[in-house]
């Protein structure tokens, strides 16, 4: 398992710990639907822009729908969910505010939104900037980041749009691999702005 896979597994485990069994969960930007493996006792639904990925999941009898959320509304209009997941999604859409509000409309009365923001201001990216290196492999990727949130601006964005932050957590990096993981966990907790790789929020 490479470092990226380990990072995703660590993040998905943190998110899964927040979700109660037998919940209705909508995973927006579900990609290959991997997160459903972390919540086996829940009813999983997904949305993704990639038609090929969606078709593959449908063949496996997974409840997913295709949508481009820069143009389309979130599917499942007649269904309410206990949790809506926006894991590293808001930075990819043109109108992040609209997607947040649309997600809230898909919640039941006590439902919650769980989001993660990638911390594009972490120390490795700062080093990349110093050496004129791009922070992504392909800076012209059509599905790349349209917004860059620091921890401060991300939280301000959520609060100013009327959301209450019920919980916040930090997802540590798995790179550089030569550093012990416990040390990277410590740095992410103590100095999250420079060392956390993702910031996780539970919203109401």
- Tens digit of pLDDT at every position of the chain (204 positions): 788 899 999 999 999 999 999 999 999 999 999 999 999 999 999 999 999 999 999 999 999 999 999 999 999 988 999 999 999 999 889 999 999 999 999 999 999 999 999 988 777 777 777 777 776 665 545 556 677 788 888 999 999 999 999 999 999 989 888 889 999 999 999 999 899 999 999 999
Neighbours of 49 (CB within 10 A): 18
The pLDDT of residue 120 is 80
137 and 166 Cβ atoms separated by less than 8 Å: no
pTM: 0.90
What is residue 138's predicted lDDT score, i.e. its pLDDT?
Answer: 54
Q: What is the pLDDT of residue 2?
A: 81
Cβ contact 135:127 at 8 Å: no
Position 65 scores a pLDDT of 97
Collapsed DSSP state (helix, strand, coil) of residue 175:
coil
**C-alpha–C-alpha distance, residues 51 and 46, integer Å:** 12
Going by C-alpha positions, the residue among 142, 163, 168 that lies closest to residue 68 is 142
CA 167 – CA 150 distance, rounded (Å): 17
CB neighbours (10 Å) of residue 100?
Answer: 21
From residue 145, how far is each of 10, 38, 39, 122, 164 by CA, in Å?
Answer: 22, 26, 28, 15, 25
pLDDT value, residue 17: 97
Pairing of strands 198-203, 107-118: antiparallel
């Amino acid at each position: 398992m490479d470092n990226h896979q380990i990072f995703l597994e660590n993040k998905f485990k943190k998110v899964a710990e927040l979700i109660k069994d037998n919940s209705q969960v909508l995973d927006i930007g579900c990609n290959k639907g991997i997160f459903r493996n972390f919540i086996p006792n829940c009813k999983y639904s997904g949305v993704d822009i990639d038609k090929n990925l969606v078709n593959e999941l449908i063949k496996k009898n997974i409840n997913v729908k295709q949508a481009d959320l820069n143009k389309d509304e979130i599917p499942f209009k007649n269904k309410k969910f206990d949790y809506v997941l926006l894991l590293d999604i808001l930075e990819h859409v043109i109108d992040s505010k609209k997607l947040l509000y649309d997600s809230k409309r898909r919640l039941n009365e006590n439902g919650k939104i769980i989001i993660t923001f990638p911390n594009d201001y972490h120390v490795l990216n700062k080093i990349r900037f110093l050496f004129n290196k791009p922070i992504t492999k392909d800076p012209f990727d059509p599905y790349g980041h349209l917004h860059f949130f620091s921890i401060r601006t991300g939280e301000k964005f959520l609060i100013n749009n009327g959301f209450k932050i019920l919980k916040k957590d930090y997802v540590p990096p798995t790179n550089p691999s030569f550093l012990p993981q416990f040390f990277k966990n410590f740095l992410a907790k103590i100095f999250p702005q420079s060392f956390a790789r993702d910031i996780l929020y539970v919203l109401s």
